[in-house]
Amino acid sequence: MQEDGGSASAHAATHVIPSAYFDDLAAGRGGPEAVRFLWSTEYSRRLLLLRALLDTIAATPGALGPLPPVDTAWDILTAAQQRTPEGFGELLLHPQVGIWLGHSLRRLRHRAWGDGPLWTDLGHLHAVCAVAALRAGLPLRTTVPLRDGTAMFPALGLARLPDRPRWGTAEVVVAAGRLQVDPYGTGVGPPEPPGTPDGDAPGWQGLRSLRTDAAGRPVTVWLDDIDPYRDLSEPLPPRRLDKDELARWREGFDRALHLLARSDPNMAAAMAEGLRTIAEVRGAPAWAVLSASSGDAFGGLLSSLPPDPVSFAVTLVHEFQHTKLGALLHLLTLERDSGTERHYAPWRNDPRPLSGLLQGAYAFLGITDFWCRYLDHAPPARRPLAQFEFALRRRQTQEAVHTLLADPALTAHGRRFLRGMAARLPAWWSDGRIPPDLVALAEFVATDHRTGWRVRHLAPAPDDVRALARAFTAGAAATGPVAGSTVVPDLAAPWPQARTGLIRQSLAVPSDGDWPAPSAADRALVAGDPAAPEAYARLLASDPEDAEAWTGLVLALDARPLLQRPELPRAVHRELRMTGTAADPRDVARWLTAAAGT
């Protein structure tokens, strides 16, 4: 940072990523040295974002409402950076500070909204200043915004002031190594004398932490349940974990890091270098994990509590992959695409733009690598499930990487990056540790998902559908070419994926949670029962548009040509119903199977 009009010369950091780091990251890896490099680039970016925010606030009349002017913030931040550059850097790189910076800039540019006045978001700047002053040992008197009577101080804790207006203010004093909120009233702040970093006090909730060791070094990660900027969109109210929940988080994190360190020490060491915060998310079913990350928050992720150490380790790898790629994308352009949601992603229910498919493929490159390395460490009872997961993930990752490689919107850097990703695939496919029956199950699940995606999101050309329906009604064979289908996202249709749950449940130990309930037709299909087509036909008699039943019927008929265009039977059957022609879904599907061009 540089003071306006000051004598210090401007120094703009120039970052050139070493080829070795680029190639290592392209392969889905990236050790501690590469992660430290990404931290340095993210610091430069945060400085630019901070300056952009301060300049935009200064150019927006009344942006800070009743709070101190932006110049006072600039002065204290500059002084804090000069006195304790390391402490200032750690604060600026706190993931929730990154989310706040991005959210505030988007609000100023009318690309995001908040639940309160603009100054309640922008004024968080003064809370950042208070923490910077505390770390640097600088005196400060300022005013911060209150949100429902609370004020968050990043990487420190939350002050609670009862009986305040929803959108109010509070005075803050930093002096003699202490921070006090409302010093002449309630007077709340971190415990005094200082105790543990996540200690509580009357009117104060400390930011809690998860501690363990991995790859020979101590690891401390904030477990954030109070910072309003812990989500990826609008600010959230605090939701404090109780003691039992906190204990489960700490135990799960410790076991997951130790598991990861045993199976992949390099990844564990890189994660120890790169992970800073986990924001708790609630609402996931017992058998699933909800997780996410943001390019604004390098080193941070959101997650529900994974049910076991393996799921926890997979979640960490998944989101850490996203955060590495997000930082790389701040340095290089890997694709130039319109953003149209047009690609199939084997792990998603919705169509994805090229950028989304790239992010997902990179995450699953890491997940596949995890399962490959974990196989030799899996307990006997869980080894079949681990083998299945490895087989499924390598299949999904390969499909996505091949789709990406064929897309002309990749840049030269993007093609080099994808070649690095693709170079990982051959070794996985030559791995002989997976029994053929589990390979077949993985292939079934992959085909099930792709078929269901096409049934839901691809629309055949209307003229072709009408021509096929007329031919079916006339008892003729379908002739002539059928044009390709168009992506028309349908996100309303339910997608329980009960067949996949049924297979995973058969491979897992009995205590692995409640999975979605499969239908009798689903059970028949998974068991190889020849009565499955009739069972799905009965479901379609009740609901002719049931995408899940159409998917099951196509799979049960085991017609390979039909799997290339599984969206056709439902579309033709719909056209027949609209013209008043009754038809058995099985007859329509079999007729299309026999037709040329399907």
pLDDT, position 559: 86
Mean per-residue pLDDT for 156-162? 96
* pLDDT grade for 5, boundaries at 50, 70 and 90: very low
| Residue whose structure tokens are 């031919």 | 471
Identify the weakest region by mean pLDDT among 110-114, 125-129, 261-265. Answer: 110-114
Q: Is 27 exposed, middle or buried (0-12, 13-18, 19+ CB in 10 A)?
A: middle
Quick one: residue 157, left, alpha or beta (phi over 0 = left, psi -120 to 50 = alpha)?
left
Residue with the two structure tokens 């064979």: 477
pLDDT in tens, 251-275: 999 999 999 999 999 999 999 999 9
Q: Which residues of 420-429 are buried (b: 16+ CB within 10 A; e: fewer)?
A: bbbebbeebe
Identify the pLDDT of residue 6.
Answer: 37
What counts of helices (H) and strands (E) characterise the chain?
23, 13
User: Taking the complete model, does pTM exceed 0.85, yes or no?
Assistant: yes
Residue 208: Cβ within 10 Å count: 23
Q: Report the share of the chain in percent with pLDDT over 90.
A: 87
Provide the 10 A C-beta neighbour count for residue 1.
19
Give me the pLDDT at residue 194, please: 53
pLDDT score of 66 more than 90: yes
Within 13 Å of residue 124, how many CA atoms lie on the same side as its CB?
30
The candidate with the shortest Cα–Cα distance to 59, out of 50, 70, 45, is 70
Identify whether the C-beta of residue 103 lies closer than 8 Å to the C-beta of residue 112.
yes
Distance separating alpha carbons of residues 421 and 412, to the nearest angstrom: 14
Structure tokens at 472: 């079916």
Spacing of C-alpha 447 from chain mean position:
24
pLDDT digits (tens, 9 = 90+) for 525-573: 999 999 999 999 999 999 999 999 999 999 999 888 899 999 999 999 9
The span from the CA of 444 to the CA of 500, in Å, is 9
Give the strand order in the sheet containing 277-280.
208-214, 217-224, 277-280, 300-303, 291-292
Residue 309: the pLDDT is 96
**For residues 429 and 403, is the Cβ–Cβ distance under 8 A?**
no
- Residue 507 phi/psi, 5-degree rounding, is -100, -15
Q: pLDDT confidence of 597, banded at 50, 70, 90? A: very low
Residue 177 has pLDDT above 90, yes or no: yes
Residue 195 pLDDT > 70: no
Rg (CA), the chain: 28
> Where are the domains positioned within the chain?
28-252, 332-434, 442-594
Residue 440 predicted with pLDDT over 60:
yes
| pLDDT for the residue 500 | 94
Helix (H) or strand (E) holding 251: helix 243-263
In this predicted structure, the answer to whether residue 598 has a pLDDT above a threshold of 80 is: no
H/E element, 299 = none
Q: Is it the case that residue 4 has pLDDT exceeding 70?
A: no
The predicted structure's pLDDT at residue 141: 98
- Say how far apart CA 564 and CA 575 lie, in whole Å: 20
- pLDDT score for 197: 56
Label residue 328 by pLDDT band (50, 70, 90): very high
Q: How confident is the model at residue 126 (pLDDT cuts 50, 70, 90)?
A: very high
